[in-house]
Structure 1
Amino acid sequence: MTKSFYIILTAVAATAVSFLIGQWAGRSLALTKGLLARQIHESFCHATEQYDTNKTNLFPALFREELNKQELHKLMFRIDTVSLNDPKTVQRNDIRYFADYERLFNERHTFVYPINDTQGIYAYIINPRAGYIGRLLYYFFGTVIALIILAICIRKQINIIKRQDEIARIREDFSYAMIHDMKTPLSSILMGARILRSGKLDKMPEKKEKFFDILEEEAEHLMALTNKILTISKLEHGQLLLEKNWIPVRPMIEELTQMFTAKTDKRVTFELNIEKENIFADEEYLKEAVSNLIDNAIKYSKETVDIQITSCMYNKFIQIKVKDNGIGISLSAQNHIFDKFERASASRNAVNGVTGFGLGLNYVMNVTRSHGGYVSVESQEGKYSEFTISLPLPTEYEITV
């Protein structure tokens, strides 16, 4: 749900709470015991007047009709007879005003309607509280529900604001890291271009060629980073078209191991266990994904690096696993290492002196998902990390196409 949705829902819930609390408080003040007694008295008086007019009507039915007019549908009563000689009885025609009835009622007198010279009838209310508490329950529960919705909406908005603040912080860190990481190759390119333009290396062809190599490497580094960002954006928006085919795993892995052995300053040993020789995928993007995993394995390991690369079959998925003997990843960090612009932890970077934007694992995740697969990690701090790319077997439609 979006922030705007919760803002609107919060406004609706707050309005409902205000209305219900107002109704609840207003009716709590209005529906007092005294008001209830007045409504019952008036209903009884009106019923007796109608009964005097037409005695063929049943008095209980007349009294119920009058109670319903006062919205006292839930009140239950019974009509009893009482002797007019009882000192506690007060006849209907002896009372003119409600104040008289209220005083006599509080003095526990019985308000009766005479039906002959010796007897009268009176109404006994069985459940007087239902006249005012029953109605309030609806408003009470409605208020509670509205308050719960309001609390949930406020909490959601707080979480959204916190997440937006976190995203803003991540973007700020990303911008700083990008500027810092791009500064070095740009400086190298600028410096090399100035030296080459000056003509100082015209008589030193070997150094001149080395400067050209540096310029090319730095430009390729910037281009690779740019392409990776653009690829992630396309993958996230479903705009990247994959060209999937059966590709041999061993040549792809061997090419990557040779490349990383040549470019790294660490002592790296690769152990290959290729059980599944072919995999159905887009070779370019899968190769880049595996390259990111190998690169991380080297970055987050000590000076001597042992990397095991395995391809195997598991539950109709072809898996490529990259396992190192590095510093590992904590359980808490494993929850967000695939997030965009995130690294496992600040301390992890600081200890190893690793720079970058945290795009590698997010790229791996998006490439794997675009193939209909998934990526997982298993790790123990100080021992190892193992990343697994799992890609599904092709459907008949994919094979024919």
Structure 2
Amino acid sequence: MKWLSNRYAYPLVIFAILLSTALQVAWLHQLFLAQREQVKIDLEKMAADAAKVCSFMSLVPGHEGNANFKQFFLSPEWTQFKQAYTNMRFNQIGSRFNDQYRGDSTIVDISLRFHNGKLRKKSHNRVSRFDFGEPLYVTQAKDRRDMRRMDSLMKVAIAKIGFRLTAYNAIRDYDHDKITGQLTEEVLRNAAFVSQQYAYNLKFFHTFQLVVPSIDGLVLYRMRYYLISSVMMLLLTGAVFMFILRLMHNQRLYAQARLAFTSNMTHELKTPVATVAIALESIIENKLENDPVTLRKYLDISRSELKRLNLMIDKVLNIEQLDNGQERLRTELFDVQLCLKEVFASMQLQLQNASASLNWHPLEEPCFVSGDPVHLANVFYNLIENAIKYGGKGIVLDISCHMMNGELLISFKDNGPGILVIYQNQIFDRYFRVPAGTADIHNVKGTGLGLNYVKQVVEKHGGRITLHSEPGSGSNFIIYLPAISYEL
């Protein structure tokens, strides 16, 4: 699977994300079209229902207690009949609607009149005649009342949608089928939805049409949960793929780091072993037991190399024990500044060999912490050793202590080459070492374990460590530890 993960992982992930996006877009497009048609159906039904209610309300005065009257004029059968009559556009057809009481019944007369023979051609449109037994101006006033009622019913129905929909009422003259008011035929042609013509009473002076310029907003509003779920699904899919890619990338870096660690560690272990072997071989071949001065020199070299070997082994073991929880801190109350002085004394030889200068800025009062003196001493040793190792000849170290808000700040500042910003978040990762140049080649051999050990120990003490560095301006590692008041 190595060829698949390394060579084709990114193209496959990009292809999968694009394919998922394309499928989601295609599905949403089909859903949009279906929802668009459904919105038109719902708007049509809304206009039809409003017209049905308005027509019934224009007839109901005087018949409020007649259940059969209400049942009939609100029935689908009557609605279909009235709509069919409304949509008729034949020449020279007259109509008459009338209702009257006869005993215990209400009689509604609906009549159509067709002219026989040829009449004068007055109009190519439908001609309706009304006889309601009342003056025409009264009938027209009632028609205007019903028109306002229809407008109110439509506003209520639109408000129930839950979306701010822009809609207009197109009122047409029934006889001539012309729009009255400010709306024009061009507006209707460009509108996204125009309902059928509905009569809102039985006087047939005018018909009503619902006009909606744009329904896309309403369609998207109805699709909002689908859109949100699709976006969330795409984001989740992308996040999962990115997580997998990042995991694969980290695994690859981890594998490379382990290989580099093995190589560097082998070199680090072989160097003191080889040095000791050469020293012992020289002692034997040259019979240095008769030369105490030279023998002492070779023995000191061997002891120093064995000590360095022991420190490297302890470093690896400490990391593993900290990870496994086997290494427990043996905490006690102690003065960090005294611990630092002991570390400085033990590193004098290394400082001299590197021509390094160490400037110590202690506080006048003791700096007590509750911690493990051995592990914290190793932390300080690692930070100073790294500064000497990577800073080069003549490096200057400034180490100081400060108290701030109940915390002890220990600063390890040097004037070395500094660390690029892109590596500062990785510097505490296990096995990570800052590349020299553009390749993963290190000028100084090391294990990549020191700073990881430093961070783990500091965090186990309830503290934290930060890095402030710029290329060419050196580095400043600051340790924050909970301080204990010496007055206690």
The TM-score by the shorter chain falls in which range? 0.5 to 0.7
Structure 1 residues 86-165: aligned runs within 5 Å: 86=176, 119=204, 124-127=209-212, 130=215, 134-139=218-223, 141-142=227-228, 143-165=230-252
Which one of the candidate residues 23, 29, 45 is aligned to 1:25? 29
* Equivalent residue letter for 2:262: S
Number of aligned residue pairs: 355
Q: Quote how far apart the aligned CAs of 1:227 are.
A: 2.0
How far 1:382 sits from its partner (Å)?
3.8
Q: Secondary structure at the match of 1:167?
A: helix
Counterpart check, 1:265 vs 2:353: yes
Shift of 1:284: 0.6
Q: How does 1:167-182 map to 2 (within 5 A)?
A: 167-182=254-269
Instruction: State the partner residue of 1:56.
Output: 70
Distance in 2 separating the partners of 1:290 and 1:320: 10
Q: Compared with structure 1, are the counterparts of its residues 201 and 30 closer, same or farther at alpha carbon in structure 2 (3 Å cutoff)?
A: same
**Does structure 2 conserve the Cα–Cα contact (< 8 Å) formed by 1:292 and 1:360?**
yes
Aligned CA-pair RMSD: 5.2
* d(CA) in 1 for partners of 2:212, 2:264: 74
- Residue 54 of structure 1: how far off its partner (Å): 5.6
In structure 1, give the amino acid aligned to 2:331.
K
Q: Which residue of the partner structure matches residue 288 of structure 1?
A: 378
Q: How does 1:9-24 map to 2 (within 5 A)?
A: 21=25, 24=28
The one-letter code matched in structure 2 to 1:124 is Q
The match for 1:299 is 389
**Structure-2 change in CA distance of 1:271 and 1:352 (3 Å):** farther
- 1:272-296 residue CA offsets vs partner (Å, 9 max, x unmatched): 3332434323111111111112212
In structure 2, the partner of 1:337 is 427
Moved more, 273-282 or 358-367: 273-282
The AA in structure 1 aligned to 2:209 is: Y
Rounded to whole Å, the distance in 2 between the matches of 1:79 and 1:378 is 72
**Contact 1:277–1:311 under 8 Å retained in 2:** no
SS of the residue corresponding to residue 311 of structure 1 reads: strand
Is 2:289 the counterpart of 1:204? yes
Residue 368 of structure 2 corresponds to 279
* Displacement after TM superposition at 1:113 (Å): 7.2
Task: Rate the CA distance shift 1:126–1:203 in 2: closer, same or farther, 3 A.
Answer: closer
Whether contact under 8 Å (1:299, 1:352) holds in the other structure is no
The answer as to whether partners of 1:14 and 1:150 remain within 8 angstroms in 2 is no
2:412–2:477 CA contact under 8 A, matched in 1: yes
Structure 1 residue ranges without an equivalent (≥5): 1-12, 67-71, 89-107
Task: Give 2:135's aligned residue.
Answer: none
Report if aligned partners of 1:297, 1:326 keep a CA contact under 8 Å in 2.
yes
> Distance in 1 between the 2:380 and 2:284 partners?
42
- Residue identity (%): 23
Asked if structure 1 preserves the Cα contact closer than 8 Å seen for 2:436 and 2:443, the reply is: no
Quote the residue 2:149 is aligned against: none
Following superposition, the deviation at residue 29 of structure 1 comes to 4.5
CA shift in 2, pair 1:139/1:317, >3 Å: same
Q: Is the 8 A contact 1:60 1:79 kept in 2?
A: no
Q: What is the CA–CA distance in structure 2 between the aligned matches of 1:59 and 1:122, rounded to whole Å?
A: 18
> Considering only CA atoms, is the larger Rg found in Structure 1 or Structure 2?
2
In 2, distance between residues paired with 1:382 and 1:119? 92
Provide closer, same or farther for how the CA distance between residues 306 and 256 of structure 1 changes in structure 2, counting only shifts above 3 A.
same
Deviation at 1:394, TM superposition (A): 3.6
Q: CA deviation at 1:164?
A: 3.2
Q: CA, structure 1 residues 38+309, in 2 after alignment: closer, same or farther (shift >3 Å)?
A: closer
**CA separation in 1, counterparts of 2:240 and 2:329?**
41
Unmatched 5+ stretches in structure 2: 1-16, 57-66, 81-157, 179-193
Partner of 1:346: 436
State the TM-score, normalizing by the size of structure 2.
0.55
- Partner Cα distance (2:473, 2:200) in 1: 98
* 3-state DSSP of counterpart to 2:353: coil
The match for 1:230 is 317
CA distance in 2, matches of 1:114, 1:318: 85
Q: How much has 1:184 moved relative to structure 2?
A: 2.2
The amino acid of 1:139's aligned partner reads M
Distance 1:16 1:122, change over 3 A: farther
SS at match of 2:479: strand
Q: What is the distance in 2 between the residues matched to 1:109 and 1:284?
A: 86
Q: Which has a greater percent of helix?
A: 1
How high is the TM-score relative to the length of structure 1?
0.65
> Within 1, Cα distance between the matches of 2:34 and 2:439?
68
**Are residues 1:327 and 2:417 paired?**
yes
Cα deviation for residue 126 of structure 1 reads: 4.3
